[in-house]
Amino acid sequence: MDTDYDAIVIGGGSAGLSFARHAAGHGRKIALIERDKLGGTCVNRGCVPKKMLWTVADSLHRGTGLTRAGLLGPTPQVDMPRLCAARAAKLEDIRQSYRDKLHEAGVTLIEETAELTAPGEVTIQGQRLRAPRIVLATGGHPIKPDMPGAELACDSDEVLNWTELPRAMAIIGGGYIGCEMAAIHAAMGVRVTLVTDTERVLTEFSEKAALVGQANMQAQGIRIVTSCTPEAVRRGDDGLELVLDADSVLSVDKVVAATGRAPNLEALGDLKARVALTEKGVIRIDERFETSLPGLHAVGDCADRLPLTPVASSDGETLALQLFGDYRSPVDLRHVATSAYVLPPVAEVGQPSKEDIFEENTLSPLSAALRSDAAQDYWGLGGSEAAVTSVSLVAEGAHEAIGWAAQMLLHRPDRATIRRALGVHPSTSEEAMG
């Protein structure tokens, strides 16, 4: 094994893979070290398996509404073994494609556990590798609440690997991960109760969009308990019990903790004390993704950026350009589109607040005339008539449309200009554009 490189990246998720391939593309000698499976959280425990489950859930959700209205026959059942097999095959294909791309780029892939033992030095099973630039792309992991019996709860990683569906489940946490798990499993026939310590769910999104999303979840049959901090998880006579308070106990088959994530910092070893963290516990970085330890950079979920795959991939490429190509500034996080895969999706770009929204509407889509549990749609524009700076959407296809809205907002259009583009009829986008 070679021991000297231009850069060593620890972590083979979206950020690390992007950095390694682009840095190697500039003719640099790069090593990528991954202790687990290539692809990181997104491919193995996040976006990809979640989206595959959501695809099934979305189809079931639409069909169920038509079935209850008497327009379709019985709702089909999920064939979990076949779904799990399809998921496993897809994930392996993606991992192999990453392996092939690294090989084509000339990146040295090392599948071991690494530890930073000195500035510019990484140790693997006693062997020392050196580079003037070390890049941490170690990602993060789900954390469980500090309560008795928390070890009995599943985390989001485990949920995405279930091979059987429970009859009933309770989810702790009303962020987008908890809400996605709730919507997906409710559509697949599970009785779902979601418990959050906040006054509403989807606090990552603007208030009105989140409230419409919450109402849609409740119309789907999900029980939502707000402003409640569960006290314990314990074994019951037939499954688990989630203790809400002295008078309220939920009896379920599974409890899922969707209560946040923390960065993986084990690779820092004894140097962790020399690396500054933010109040959130992630690594503090500057505009060049450099940490408080010179020569050590951080990208992806372990760094102080949005923990989203497109951001991680973009930041990895940007860092490679900064170190070995032409300087490029990091993407402005205001231009990052986000979506919660509930049913229908909630999506936003521009980081709108309640005060920013100057025009909005909640409406019933045409499908409401046919489905007994039809969701409400919503759109909102933020900024001003002179310069639209944010878009909020709740509608079928919102997760696709919001990316195009992000492109539009780069040019800060005025409201009159937006009205000159005509949408498809009938659609929610038509309402927002008109």
Half-sphere CA count of 91, side-chain side, radius 13 A: 25
Residue 126, exposed/middle/buried by CB under 10 A (0-12, 13-18, 19+)?
exposed
- Give the residue among 397, 393, 399 at the shortest CA–CA distance from 433: 393
Is residue 7 a contact partner of residue 108, using CB atoms and an 8 Å limit? no
* Residue 335 a catalytic site member: no
CA distances from 179 to 265, 359, 425 (A): 27, 26, 30
Annotated ligand binding at 178? The verdict is: yes
Catalytic-role residue among 61, 103, 141, 425: 425
Which H helix or E strand runs over 124?
Answer: strand 121-124
Torsion of CA 117, 122, 127, 130, to 10 degrees: -120
Cis-peptide, bond into residue 81, ω within 30° of zero? no
| Residue 418 token pair | 């937006």
Annotated ligand binding at 383? The verdict is: no
Distance in angstroms (rounded) separating the CA atoms of residues 186 and 219: 11
| Residue 6 token pair | 């231009």
- Give the residue among 294, 292, 290 at the shortest CA–CA distance from 315: 290
CA angle 116, 158, 20 (to 5 degrees): 35
Cβ within 8 Å of residue 355, ≥6 positions away: none
Say if strands 254-257 and 168-172 run parallel, antiparallel, or are unpaired: parallel
Q: Which residues pair with 243 in a beta bridge?
A: 232, 249
Question: What 3-state class would DSSP assign to 350?
Answer: coil
Residue 317, exposed/middle/buried by CB under 10 A (0-12, 13-18, 19+)?
buried
Distance in angstroms (rounded) separating the CA atoms of residues 128 and 133: 14
Q: Which residues pair with 109 in a beta bridge?
A: 32
Annotated ligand binding at 301? The verdict is: yes
Distance in angstroms (rounded) separating the CA atoms of residues 423 and 379: 14
Annotated ligand binding at 177? The verdict is: yes
Annotated ligand binding at 236? The verdict is: no
| Residue 286 token pair | 């500057």
Annotated ligand binding at 176? The verdict is: yes
| Residue 422 token pair | 């005509």
Distance in angstroms (rounded) separating the CA atoms of residues 151 and 135: 33
Write out the catalytic residue numbers: 425
Annotated binding site: 51, 173-180, 260, 301
Binding residues for FAD: 51, 301
Tell me the binding residues for NAD(+): 173-180, 260
